[in-house]
A and B are shown apart, each in its own frame.
Chain A
Amino acid sequence: MTTAGRFGVYGGAFVPETLVPALEELEAAMTAALADPAFIAELDGWLRDYAGRPTPLTLARRLTEACGGAEIWLKREDLLHTGAHKLNNALGQVLLARRMGKTRIIAETGAGQHGVATATVCACFGLECVVYMGREDTHRQAVNVYKMGLLGAEVRPVDSGSRTLKDATNEAIRDWVTNVENTHYVIGSVVGPHPYPTLVKRFQRVIGDEARAQALERWGALPDLVVACVGGGSNAIGIFTAFIEDEDVELLGVEAAGRGIETGEHAASLEAGRPGVLHGAYSYLLQDADGQVRETHSISAGLDYPGVGPEHAALRDAERARYVSCTDGEALRAFHRLCRMEGIIPALESSHALAVAERRAGELGLGHRVLVCLSGRGDKDIDTVRAVGGTGEGTQ
């Protein structure tokens, strides 16, 4: 096995031979672009003038009081244009694709946030955009499907396999294999074959770079704990990366425990999976004894994925980051608390991080600070939350 694109033993590029030259071309283009001050300036300009960076750091005042411990601070990716951190990556990759002369953009999406972000950037540049989405998810996230249409993208529902994010990703890769000459595949998280995990990390690390600078400026100190939800892991890598060398900063990733790990209906790859290969990378994977990828469940479509980015696998094995999980019910209750106490409607994905942050804030006690990546806003989840009803009290 090669050492290129490895995080410890994880990562690699397990793809059909047809795609190998395209991945090599992408890696070369990435290296050249990231070393080019003109490209970086162009990207920074779009992030500032179009996306709305830097995003604020907000003290969750009443939530902190209610938890009775460490201060809870929110990195407000929910305020980014299109409502989630996904735009950071979509902007970076589409700018890179333009530089590579690609005229057609494809993407996969689960919650629809990455699809909306990609469709948005393609509209800015007048690029053809096709988004693959599992049929199940087109129902769960109908508003985002409509939005992508408004933005001029074509949404292709995927009926193979379990009809969710993993199958949409398969279909996007098949499209790429077929149209590799003119098409760039904008993958939505730190997953997939090398160089994607590295590329997406580069475009998301702005979250943590900003937050670290904001912390030093506002508090004159670093947070004691950084918490982020983990689907594929891009917002988590995005906020962790700036703090990796800060050994005293605890890094905590939160996966979806769905209806409970013990029920088997969850999406906690790092907690309950074994290493394997999905979508071109070797990482933790929810699979059966024969290596067939298992179906997953989470109330949040963005976390409903059986794999996880290879760098998280390495951080876990190296014990630099810890990974825990949070059930649908715990996330829903955290969702409602943030609405009521802070006037912020969070994405259900981000609510997983909030639930664990609240618990840990109490444990850490006064005089400490918890930094939470509020990866997105919850507008897309209103129908899901309304269908459950109440304030989440009494749900599992």
Chain B
Amino acid sequence: MTAATAGRFEAAFAARGAGERPGIIPYVMAGFPGPGDTAPLLLAYERAGSLAAEVGIPFSDPLADGPTIQSIGWRALEQGMTPARAIAQVAEARAAGLTIPVAAMTYINPVLAMGVEAFAAACAAAGIDGVIVPDLPVDEAAGLAASLGAHGLAHIPLVAPTTPTSRVARVAATAAGFVYCVSVTGTTGARDRVSPAALDLLARVRSVTDLPRALGFGISRPEHVEALTGHCEAVVVASALLDAIGTGGDDPGATAERFIRGLRGVGAAG
């Protein structure tokens, strides 16, 4: 284990004060909005006070994603984005001074195509801290989790409202960094409200593990984040943020900063 990487998530969650709003983990699809925009956006995410960031590596058949991320991923692929290039964007951001933890999110097939071991090594070398694979349930994940662990990377598994608590415990036992809690039975995409099932899931996760909980899928508004205070340690924000960047004019970094500060409930100086 290289503590330098495994520790970034731990340190970031430990730095949160008691009673604070959940930290923000904004997502960006590598190659969005343009091929060279990922590293600058990651730096903007950090300037906005994000707890961590998530970088999507596009896949042709993203089963867990709704229309926003599907179409953004498809465009990234058409513009030549590859797993190797996506990983390189994180290395570029690190070289430019990015310090917050970064999780890569992709599907299992691109990982298998690169080779599980080579993928883990490439992520570690680029300064990625954890990996999220939404079509790799715990029953299939032992190989990837072992390779990631050997490289000091966190395997960040997902749990859903349909996951029984006994299984949540089994999933959490394989987790490092945090547990990714899916807020809805559904795909990614902005939602109007946080479902009661999400709060129930967060409580069930806490009953079986002390790991930090990040709630994702559908979180889109400042009032969602505020209402989640005390229920989880972080929220992942994806579709709503990408929609805002996509329609927000020609300075993606500034749009992102405004959006994330809004979610945090702080002004421009925060």
Residues of A within 8 A of B (CB): 1-2, 4, 12-22, 160-161, 166-167, 170, 173-174, 177-181, 275-280, 285, 287, 289-293
Contacts and interface: CB of A to CB of B under 8 A. Distances in A.
A184 to B, nearest CB: 15
A276 B109 contact: yes
Contacts of B74: 160-161
A16 B64 contact: yes
Interface string B123-167: 000000000001111111011000000000000011111111001
B144 to A, nearest CB: 10
Contacts of A161: 60-61, 74
A13 B60 contact: no
7 contacts: A17-B157, A17-B159, A18-B186, A22-B162, A278-B109, A292-B60, A293-B61
Contacts of A15: 63, 135, 137
Interface in B59-91: 59-64, 66-67, 70-71, 74, 77, 82-84
B37 to A, nearest CB: 20
A166 B139 contact: no
Contacts of B134: 16-17
A174 B63 contact: yes
Contacts of B186: 18, 177-178
Nearest to A307: B61
A275 B167 CA distance: 29
Contacts of B77: 292
Contacts of A170: 61-63
B59 A292 contact: yes
B137 A291 contact: no
A277 B162 contact: no
B136 A14 contact: yes
A20 to B, nearest CB: 5
B170 to A, nearest CB: 11
A308 to B, nearest CB: 15
B113 interface: yes
A14 B107 CA distance: 10
B61 A14 contact: no
B189 to A, nearest CB: 10
B171 interface: yes
B211 interface: no
A277 B63 CA distance: 12
B113 A287 contact: yes
A363 B113 CA distance: 39
Which 4 pairs show the lowest CB-CB distances between chains A and B?
Answer: A291-B113, A291-B110, A18-B160, A178-B186
A178 B63 CA distance: 12
A20 B63 contact: no
B164 A181 contact: no
B194 to A, nearest CB: 17
Given A277-B108, A292-B77, A293-B109, A17 B171 contact: yes
B187 interface: yes
Contact of B163 (A13, A20, A277): A20
Q: Which of B61, B134, B161, B164 has the most CB of A within 10 A?
A: B61
Question: How many B residues touch the partner, as a band?
Answer: 35 or more
A21 B164 contact: yes
Interface of B: 59-64, 66-67, 70-71, 74, 77, 82-84, 107-114, 134-140, 142-143, 157-164, 167, 171, 182, 184-187
B187 A2 contact: no
Given A21-B164, A160-B74, A291 B185 contact: no
Contacts, number: 125
Contacts of B61: 161, 166-167, 170, 278-279, 293
Contacts of A177: 63-64, 185-187
B112 A276 contact: yes
Contacts of B167: 20-21
A368 B253 CA distance: 72
A9 to B, nearest CB: 12
A183 B83 CA distance: 35
Contacts of A13: 137, 139-140
Q: Which of A161, A174, A276 has the most CB of B within 10 A?
A: A174
Contacts of A21: 162-164, 167
Q: Which of B60, B67, B167 has the most CB of A within 10 A?
A: B60
Contacts of B83: 290-291
Nearest to B71: A160
Contact of B160 (A14, A16, A279, A292): A16
Contacts of A17: 134, 137-138, 157-160, 162-163, 171, 182
A14 B162 contact: no
Contact of A1 (B82, B135, B140, B164): B140
A207 B83 CA distance: 44
A167 to B, nearest CB: 8
A181 B158 contact: no
Contact of A290 (B66, B113, B136, B171): B113
A279 B61 CA distance: 8
A3 to B, nearest CB: 10
Contacts of B136: 14
B66 to A, nearest CB: 7
Given A174-B66, A287-B109, A16 B158 contact: yes
A277 B109 CA distance: 5
Contacts of A181: 185
Contact of B187 (A12, A167, A178, A290): A178
A231 B202 CA distance: 42
B137 A276 contact: no
A318 B13 CA distance: 50
B235 to A, nearest CB: 18
B164 A12 contact: no
B135 A14 contact: yes
Contacts of A12: 140
A277 B60 contact: no
A221 to B, nearest CB: 44
Contacts of A276: 109, 112-113
